[in-house]
A and B are shown apart, each in its own frame.
Chain A
Amino acid sequence: MKKSVRAITISGNGTNCEIETAFAFKLAGAEVSDIVHISRIVAGDVRLDDYHILALAGGFLDGDDLGAAKAMANRVKFAHITGTGRRLLDEILGFVEAGKLIIGICNGFQLMVKIGLLPALGGTYGTQSVTITNNDSGRFEDRWVRLFIEPDCPSIFTRGIRHLTFPVRHGEGKFVAPPAVLSAIEAKHLVVARYADENYTPTMSYPLNPNGSLSSVAGICDQTGRLMALMPHPEGYLFRSQHPTWTRGNIPEEGMGLMVFKNAVTYVRENLIGGR
Chain B
Amino acid sequence: MAHRIEVGLLPDIRDAHGEKTARRIREDLKIDVSGVRVLSVFTIDADLTPDELSGIAENLLVDPIIQQAGIDLPLAAADEFDFAVEVGYLPGVTDNVGRTAREGVSLIFPNRLSPGQKVYTSFQYLIRGPIDRSDAERIAMGLLGNPLIQRFVILDRNVFMAANGIAPWVPKVTGSHDRTVSEIDLSVADDELVRISREGVLALSLAEMKAIQEYIGLEAAGPDRDRTGLGSKMTDVELEVIAQTWSEHCKHKIFNALIDYEDENGNTERIESLFSTYIKGATETIRKAKGRQDFCLSVFKDNAGVISFNEDFNLVFKVETHNSPSALDPYGGALTGIVGVNRDPFGTGLGSRLIFNTDVFCFADPGFSGEIPPRLLHPKRVYEGVREGVEHGGNKSGIPTVNGSIVFDDRFLGKPLVYCGTGGIMPKTINGRPSHEKTARVGDLIVMTGGRIGKDGIHGATFSSEELHEGSPATAVQIGDPITQKRMTDMLLVARDRGLYSSITDNGAGGLSSSVGEMARDSGGCVLDLDRAPLKYEGLRPWEILLSEAQERMTLAVPPDRIDEFMDLARRMDVEATVLGEFTETGRFHVRFEGKTVAYLDMDFLHEKNPPMRLFARWRRPIHPEPDFAPPTDLNRELLAMLSRLNVASKESVVRQYDHEVQGTSVIKPLVGTGGIGPSDAAVIRPILDSEAGVVIGHGICPKYSDIDTYHMAANAVDEAVRNAVAVGGNVDYLAGLDNFCWCDPVTSEKTPDGDYKLAQLVRANRGLYDVTTAYGVPLISGKDSMKNDYQIGETKISIPPTILFSVMGKIEDINRAVTMDAKRPGDLVYVLGPTKYELGGSEYLASKGLVGNTVPVVDIDNNLRRYRALSAAIADGLAASVHDLSDAGLGTAAVETALAGDLGIEIDLGAVVRESVDRDDFLLFSESAGRFVVTVTPEKAGSFETIMAGTTFARVGRVTQDKRIVVRGLSGVVVIDLALDDVREAWLRPLMF
Give chain A's interface residues, CB within 8 Å of chain B. 11-17, 19-20, 23, 37, 39-40, 43, 58-60, 62-67, 70-71, 74-75, 77-79, 114, 128-131, 133-144, 167, 169, 174, 176-178, 212, 233, 235-236, 238, 241-242, 244-245, 247-249
Shortest distance from the beta carbon of B462 to any chain A beta carbon, whole Å? 31
Cβ of B746 under 8 Å from chain A: no
- Take A16-B662, A20-B664, A62-B483 as given contacts and tell me if A37 and B689 are in contact as well, using a CB distance cutoff of 8 Å: no
Chain B contacts for A133, CB-based, 8 A: 13, 16, 63, 66
Q: Which residue of A lies closest to B819 (CB)?
A: A247
> Do B100 and A245 have beta carbons less than 8 Å apart?
no
Within B552-586, the residues touching A (CB, 8 Å) are 572-574
Distance between Cα atoms of A135 and B659 in the complex (Å): 15
> Do A16 and B16 have beta carbons less than 8 Å apart?
no
Chain A contacts for B97, CB-based, 8 A: 63, 65-66
Distance between Cα atoms of A70 and B100 in the complex (Å): 10
Distance between Cα atoms of A74 and B103 in the complex (Å): 10
Distance between Cα atoms of A130 and B482 in the complex (Å): 28
Shortest distance from the beta carbon of B210 to any chain A beta carbon, whole Å? 48
> Do B483 and A60 have beta carbons less than 8 Å apart?
yes
Cβ of B372 under 8 Å from chain A: no
- Take A78-B108, A137-B16, A143-B656 as given contacts and tell me if A241 and B667 are in contact as well, using a CB distance cutoff of 8 Å: yes
Distance between Cα atoms of A249 and B822 in the complex (Å): 12
Listed from nearest, the 8 A-B pairs whose CB atoms lie closest are A16-B398, A20-B664, A138-B20, A65-B100, A131-B65, A138-B16, A78-B107, A134-B16
> Do A71 and B104 have beta carbons less than 8 Å apart?
yes
> Do B16 and A65 have beta carbons less than 8 Å apart?
no
Chain B contacts for A78, CB-based, 8 A: 59, 107-108
- Take A66-B61, A169-B659 as given contacts and tell me if A39 and B572 are in contact as well, using a CB distance cutoff of 8 Å: yes
> Do A131 and B63 have beta carbons less than 8 Å apart?
yes
- Count B interface residues, CB 8 Å: 67
- Take A14-B483, A212-B14 as given contacts and tell me if A249 and B107 are in contact as well, using a CB distance cutoff of 8 Å: no
> Do A63 and B490 have beta carbons less than 8 Å apart?
no
Pick the residue among B16, B573, B672, B822 that contacts A136 (CB under 8 A): B16
A-B residue pairs in contact (CB < 8 Å), sample of 23: A12-B490, A13-B487, A14-B482, A16-B397, A16-B398, A37-B490, A37-B573, A65-B483, A71-B60, A71-B103, A74-B59, A75-B107, A78-B59, A129-B65, A133-B63, A134-B17, A138-B20, A139-B20, A233-B661, A235-B664, A242-B667, A244-B671, A247-B822
Chain B contacts for A13, CB-based, 8 A: 483, 486-487
> Do A244 and B667 have beta carbons less than 8 Å apart?
no
> Do A242 and B60 have beta carbons less than 8 Å apart?
no
Distance between Cα atoms of A67 and B482 in the complex (Å): 16
> Do B100 and A241 have beta carbons less than 8 Å apart?
no
Cβ of B681 under 8 Å from chain A: no
> Do A244 and B672 have beta carbons less than 8 Å apart?
yes
Chain A contacts for B481, CB-based, 8 A: 63
> Do B672 and A58 have beta carbons less than 8 Å apart?
no
Chain B contacts for A174, CB-based, 8 A: 16
Chain B 82-120 against A: per-residue CB contact (8 Å), 1 yes, 0 no?
000000000000001101110110011000000000000
Chain B contacts for A43, CB-based, 8 A: 572
Chain B contacts for A244, CB-based, 8 A: 669, 671-672, 676
> Do B689 and A23 have beta carbons less than 8 Å apart?
yes
> Do A144 and B664 have beta carbons less than 8 Å apart?
no
> Do A142 and B100 have beta carbons less than 8 Å apart?
no
Shortest distance from the beta carbon of B339 to any chain A beta carbon, whole Å? 12
> Do A142 and B96 have beta carbons less than 8 Å apart?
no
> Do B657 and A128 have beta carbons less than 8 Å apart?
no
Chain A contacts for B660, CB-based, 8 A: 142
Distance between Cα atoms of A93 and B815 in the complex (Å): 43
- Take A63-B483, A65-B100, A248-B822 as given contacts and tell me if A23 and B664 are in contact as well, using a CB distance cutoff of 8 Å: yes
- Take A141-B656, A212-B14, A236-B664 as given contacts and tell me if A20 and B689 are in contact as well, using a CB distance cutoff of 8 Å: yes
> Do A19 and B671 have beta carbons less than 8 Å apart?
no
- Take A13-B487, A66-B104, A236-B664 as given contacts and tell me if A245 and B672 are in contact as well, using a CB distance cutoff of 8 Å: yes
> Do B815 and A241 have beta carbons less than 8 Å apart?
yes
Cβ of B396 under 8 Å from chain A: yes
Shortest distance from the beta carbon of B586 to any chain A beta carbon, whole Å? 38
Q: Which residue of A lies closest to B666 (CB)?
A: A242
Distance between Cα atoms of A129 and B815 in the complex (Å): 45
Chain B contacts for A66, CB-based, 8 A: 60-61, 97, 100-101, 104
- Take A16-B398, A131-B63, A143-B656 as given contacts and tell me if A236 and B101 are in contact as well, using a CB distance cutoff of 8 Å: no
Q: Which residue of B lies closest to A211 (CB)?
A: B16
- Take A60-B395, A60-B396 as given contacts and tell me if A130 and B65 are in contact as well, using a CB distance cutoff of 8 Å: yes
Shortest distance from the beta carbon of A168 to any chain B beta carbon, whole Å? 10
